[in-house]
């Protein structure tokens, strides 16, 4: 997720899981305007390869030759797949006719997928992520078929429309409709809150895979369903801070990233109640917040 799940967050989270519990992950989008990215830039975005869980690179754009050239750069990295973002709802994306803007143009969406598939020449799977539609979900089947016709080998369907942004209400029947419209595997997305929802979404919609967004920020163990202690939860956050430090982030940025997670954090009972959450969030001194987290992470190790 753009601005949230950087390579450091991904590395710490992936290290907690076995491929049986977490089948894959994807970078946040690389916005391709009219200039291709070089392999080194893609590598930086992807982060170093750690463990055996496949990580793909996501691109967002509509300039086909720049996307094709960037796809060639992706081929020169460790990326396990190339994903195309047709879901981003922001004004910036719409202005550049990228992300969810392409939900209004299924033919163009199909052509963009095809261009990237051809650029990858069978050496790297190309996947696509759509929302259920732009203003409404009338065309979810048409959009799913467009991605399939373009050669996508897997389709992720975020069941909200662009107009619905990130509303609490979700309609999983839209995922079912996409599953029934295409032959390629579908990964359902939208509104998974707890581990049990992963299986429930598969059962209810028939999708083969499930993608988790927001809920993984509150509980990085949602994929395995493992119950963890408050200390383990603090260790995760401390490890994340250390990884950010190794990547060159100063205390202010590291504390801001931890707060982004603490705002919604639920794992391990690390946050005992809303007053506790408020007191973490109220800490204005970055070093103090980082030291408090380190102390919680090492709490049981103190003799
Ligand atoms: C801040 C933020 C950034 C996001 N960035 C991306 C992104 O870069 N690529 C993407 O495919 N989805 C992105 N998403 C969407 C999520 O991946 C996911 O599709 C969406 O949150 C719905 O899933 P959920 O209901 O489990 O949260 C982002 C969402 C948020 C809130």
Local confidence band at 188 (pLDDT 50, 70, 90 cut-offs): very high
190, 160 in Cβ contact below 8 A?
Answer: yes
Catalytic residue of the set 8, 88, 116, 159 = 88
* CA dist., res. 236 & res. 265, Å (int): 12
Ligand 1 binding pocket, CB closer than 6 Å: 1-4, 28-29, 58, 85, 87, 129, 158, 166, 189-192, 212-215
For 18-68, write each residue's pLDDT tens digit: 999 999 999 999 999 999 999 999 999 999 888 899 999 999 999 999 999
Position 107 scores a pLDDT of 98
Tell me, in angstroms, the distance from the centre of ligand 1 to residue 84's CA.
13
* CA dist., res. 230 & res. 268, Å (int): 4
Taking the domain 7-218, which CATH number applies?
A: 3.20.20.70
Position 301 scores a pLDDT of 52
Q: pLDDT > 70: what percent of the chain?
A: 99
Atom of ligand 1 nearest to the CA of 190: 25
Residues of the chain with CATH 3.20.20.70: 7-218
Position 2 scores a pLDDT of 86
303 has pLDDT over 50: no
Position 300 scores a pLDDT of 63
Mutate to test the pocket of ligand 1, among 82, 211, 213, 216 (most ligand atoms within 8 A of CB): 213
Q: What is the mean pLDDT of residues 1-6?
A: 88
Q: What is the mean pLDDT of residues 251-262?
A: 98
Q: What is the dihedral of CA 153, 204, 210, 21, to 10 degrees?
A: -120
* CA dist., res. 171 & res. 163, Å (int): 14
123, 82 in Cβ contact below 8 A?
Answer: no
Q: pLDDT > 90: what percent of the chain?
A: 94
> Nearest Cα to 191, choosing from 222, 221, 168?
168
Q: Is residue 123 classed exposed, middle or buried when 0-12, 13-18 and 19+ CB atoms within 10 A define those classes?
A: exposed
Entry pTM: 0.96
Q: Kindly tell me the sign of the dihedral angle through the C-alpha atoms of 217, 220, 226, 232.
A: negative
Tell me, in angstroms, the distance from the centre of ligand 1 to residue 119's CA.
26
Local confidence band at 285 (pLDDT 50, 70, 90 cut-offs): very high
* CA dist., res. 244 & res. 276, Å (int): 25
Q: Is residue 46 classed exposed, middle or buried when 0-12, 13-18 and 19+ CB atoms within 10 A define those classes?
A: buried
Tell me, in angstroms, the distance from the centre of ligand 1 to residue 220's CA.
15
Position 199 scores a pLDDT of 98
Q: Is 120 a catalytic residue?
A: no
Q: Where are the beta strands (DSSP E) in the chain?
A: 25-31, 55-60, 82-86, 126-131, 154-158, 186-189, 209-211
* CA dist., res. 197 & res. 211, Å (int): 11
Position 112 scores a pLDDT of 98
Tell me, in angstroms, the distance from the centre of ligand 1 to residue 250's CA.
26
For 80-130, write each residue's pLDDT tens digit: 999 999 999 999 999 999 999 999 999 999 999 999 999 999 999 999 999
């Amino acid at each position: 997720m753009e601005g949230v799940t950087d390579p450091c967050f991904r590395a710490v989270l992936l290290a907690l899981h076995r491929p049986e519990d977490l089948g894959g992950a994807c970078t946040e989008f690389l916005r391709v305007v009219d200039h291709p990215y070089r392999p080194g830039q893609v590598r930086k975005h992807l982060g170093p390869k750690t463990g055996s869980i496949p990580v793909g690179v996501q691109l967002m754009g509509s300039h086909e030759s720049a996307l094709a050239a960037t796809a060639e750069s992706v081929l020169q990295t460790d990326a396990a797949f190339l994903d195309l973002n047709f879901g981003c709802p922001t004004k910036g994306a719409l202005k550049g006719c990228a992300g969810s803007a392409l939900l209004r143009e299924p033919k163009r969406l199909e052509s963009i997928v095809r261009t990237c598939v051809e650029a990858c020449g069978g050496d790297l799977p190309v996947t696509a992520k759509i929302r259920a539609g732009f203003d409404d979900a009338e065309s979810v089947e048409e959009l799913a078929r467009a991605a399939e016709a373009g050669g996508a080998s897997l389709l992720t369907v975020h069941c909200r429309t662009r107009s619905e942004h990130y509303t609490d209400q979700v309609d999983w029947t839209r995922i079912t409709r996409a599953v029934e419209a295409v032959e390629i595997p579908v990964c359902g997305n939208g509104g998974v809150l707890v581990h049990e929802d992963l299986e429930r979404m598969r059962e209810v919609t028939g999708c083969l895979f499930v993608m988790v967004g927001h809920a993984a920020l509150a509980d990085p163990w949602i994929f395995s369903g493992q119950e963890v202690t408050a200390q383990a939860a603090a260790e995760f956050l401390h490890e994340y801070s250390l990884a950010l430090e190794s990547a060159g982030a100063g205390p202010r940025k590291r504390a801001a990233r931890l707060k982004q997670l603490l705002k919604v954090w639920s794992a391990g009972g690390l946050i005992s109640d809303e007053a506790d959450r408020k007191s973490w969030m109220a800490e204005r001194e970055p070093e103090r917040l980082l030291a408090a987290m380190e102390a919680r992470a090492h709490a049981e190790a103190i003799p």
